[in-house]
Amino acid sequence: MPTALITGATSGLGAAFARRLAADAFSLVLVSRDALRLAQTADQLKLRYGVDVEVLPADLTTDEGLARVESRLHDGVDLLVNNAGFGHPGSFPDVPVEQELRMLKLHCEAVLRLTLAALPGMRERDRGAVVNVASVAAFFAHNTYSASKAWVVNFSEAAAAKVGNPRIKVMALCPGFVRTEFHQRASMDSSGIPGFLWLKADNVVRAAMRDLALGKPVSVPDLRYKAIVAVGRLVPRGLQSRVSATIGR
């Protein structure tokens, strides 16, 4: 039975990945800061899908938390989903530097370290995959959030090319607006986002798993967002920045 480790596994895309992979008969290792919610999520998945679920409470913005998850990855997993992340209600340069550094620790350092921890075991078994959750924001210059997600995309593309084994895949997942707790937790007002731009978490995960199977290094779920990214790449960087500053995330 294959094993998947998912960070940020108790809500949003992380929870959707957990449901999908449990339905596909993966054993799960769930990582989150909230130990109580983690235990509740594990119990629900065990009851519904009958799979083994291991819980690993850890704060990935700390060296101690990262070391705990790295240690578990050294034991081997078949799929790593680097999903944990957060946003700020404010924008650069008004966000306190401590919060900006915490974001970079989680979005960049954690993705780097956990991917590096997972790859040796995958190479030894000659199979495996890593999904690094980024965002459509990665393709638009706006603030530290978009910059950190741009790093995730660039890193994932480079890692996919450098691994040099078609049986080991690394992919950046770049969804647009997804109906999760993300904006609420970040105290962001999402009321102005048009309804047609919202995606369902389960649909995003379904598209991600399809693109992973196809070996794509970057997955942009939904035709609407594929079009937005394509247009964004054609717009001059200066104009793109001004538009991003106007409409926000």
The pLDDT profile of the chain, 249 residues, written as one tens digit per residue, is: 899 999 999 999 999 999 999 999 999 999 999 999 999 999 999 999 999 999 999 999 999 999 999 999 999 999 999 999 998 777 778 889 999 999 999 999 999 999 999 999 999 999 999 999 999 999 987 789 999 999 999 999 999 999 989 999 999 999 988 876 554 554 445 555 666 677 999 999 999 999 999 999 999 998 988 998 887 776 655 555 555 554 444
**Annotated catalytic residue, options 17, 145, 182, 225:** 145
Domain count, the chain: 1
Q: How many residues does the chain have?
A: 249
The structure tokens 């999402």 sit at 190
- Cβ-contact 113, 38 below 8 angstroms: no
Name the residue range of residue 235's domain: 3-247
DSSP 8-state secondary structure symbol assigned to residue 133: E
How many CB atoms are located within 10 Å of the residue 79 CB? 24
Name, in order, each residue with C-beta under 8 angstroms of 31's C-beta and a sequence gap of 6 or more: 5, 6, 7, 8, 9, 38, 56, 57, 58, 60, 69, 84
Predicted structure pTM score: 0.89
Q: Is 49 marked active-site? A: no
Contact partners, residue 98, CB within 8 Å, separation at least 6: none
Give the CATH number, domain containing residue 197. 3.40.50.720
Break the chain down into helix, strand, coil percent, rounded to 5.
55, 15, 30
